[in-house]
Every structure is written in structure tokens, then in C-alpha cells.
Amino acid sequence: MPKVKFDILESTCVPLPFENVDTDQIIPARFLSAISRQGFGDNLFRDWRYTKAGEKNSEFVMNNPDYAGKVLVAGKNFGSGSSREHAVWAIFDYGFRAVVSSFFADIFMNNALNNGLLPIVISDDLLKKLLSLVQNNPDTKVKIDLEKQTFTILSTGDSVKFGINPYKKECLIKGLDDIDFLLSIKSQIINYENNKSLLQ
């Protein structure tokens, strides 16, 4: 999978102030019948973005021309449910490069990191503040510096350090791929197979 490099991102945000947004909302199952990774952005949040009649739902934030940007800010426990990587492909394909929340589901987090989409965990309080800032002023900008692991709200100067696994950080910065790494240690894998016991 071709990887994109991630270093510094400065962008406005799209707010999604709901908790427990599951992957069925991000991309409903009926849009999973594809055999490539492309094009899922069209159906991102499909059932919130469009009415039952298939028209744009003007109340949904992604249809509000005031809001744009490469950073999605979402309520607690984002990405729960199904393991479908299509959810990450859809978010990335739509144009987002980072998702900010106070809590992510595990599989979603792994899938995001494997596709160059940076999940950033901030505190509940800061998330609340950020959501309210963005909702009141769509021009609110944030800056993400992956090397320094800092997340900054530019208008207020709120700046926090975010966590990321050092291995995954290096992969994102250099655009490296897990499979290249695994292929490079194949002799070690074969060695493991030869020496494996049922139990230790």
C-alpha cells in the first residue's frame, strides 16, 4: 500500500460532536461491496449526509459550506464496532488527514495508523473546548506537529503533547509500510516456525 508521509498539518476543522460514532455510521455496510480502496469518500457518513430521498441533508455539518478542513473533531469513543478498514479509507478519501477525539476504538486506531490517517487523543475537557470553539467559529485553526507530538489550537494557544507509538510515528513520518518491515525479517519468521513449541 503506497504510504503518504505525515509531518506538520495546519488546518481548520470539521466538528462532529457525537459520542460513540461507530464504523457503520462512518461507512454503512451496503457500500462495502467494492474490490478496491478508492472512492469510499463519496459515502462517508452517508446516512447522516443525505436524506432518505437521497438529497443532501442541510443540517449535517459536512454539507455546511462554512466548515472545511483536513481535521475531523469527533466525540468520545470514535470508530467503535466493525473492523472495516473501509471506514478509514472513506475518511481519508474524503480529504481528512487527522481525527481528534478523547477516545478511539482499538481496531479503528490501528487501521488509521496503517493508512496515514493520524488519530490524536486529547483530554475530554480540551475536546469540549475545541468543539465549542470550532462550532462558534469555523475558521478556528489547529496545528499538528507529529515530530514534536504537539497539538495546538492556534487562536487560543492551547497546546498539548499527544501520544503515539514510536514505531508507528516513524512509519508515518517516513512513509514506511509494515509489510516491507515484515518481509525484511522473513528469515526470523521462518526461524520462529521451526522452533515453535505448543506451549512454553
Which residues of this chain interact with other proteins, rule CB under 8 A? 1, 17-20, 22, 24-25, 28-30, 32-37, 47, 52, 75-77, 80-86, 88, 103, 105-107, 110-111, 114-115, 165-168, 178-179, 181-183, 185-186, 188-189, 192-193, 196-200
- What is the nearest approach in angstroms of other proteins to the Cβ of residue 28? 6
Q: Which is nearer to other proteins, 104 or 151 (CB)?
A: 104
Q: Which is nearer to other proteins, 58 or 195 (CB)?
A: 195
- What is the nearest approach in angstroms of other proteins to the Cβ of residue 26? 10
144 by Cβ neighbours in 10 Å (0-12 / 13-18 / 19+) ranks as: buried
When computed from its CA atoms, the radius of gyration of the chain, rounded to whole angstroms, is 18
Q: Which is nearer to other proteins, 116 or 138 (CB)?
A: 116
94 by Cβ neighbours in 10 Å (0-12 / 13-18 / 19+) ranks as: middle
Cα–chain center distance at 108: 8
Q: Which is nearer to other proteins, 125 or 157 (CB)?
A: 125
* CA atoms of 139 and 10, how far apart (whole Å): 12
Q: Kindly report the length of the chain.
A: 200
- What is the nearest approach in angstroms of other proteins to the Cβ of residue 179? 5
Q: Which is nearer to other proteins, 50 or 94 (CB)?
A: 50
User: Residue 37 gets which letter from DSSP?
Assistant: S
* CA atoms of 116 and 55, how far apart (whole Å): 31
CA angle 64–160–13, rounded 5-degree value: 10
CA nearest neighbour of 4 among 98, 103, 100, 116: 116
- What is the nearest approach in angstroms of other proteins to the Cβ of residue 95? 20
- What is the nearest approach in angstroms of other proteins to the Cβ of residue 90? 13
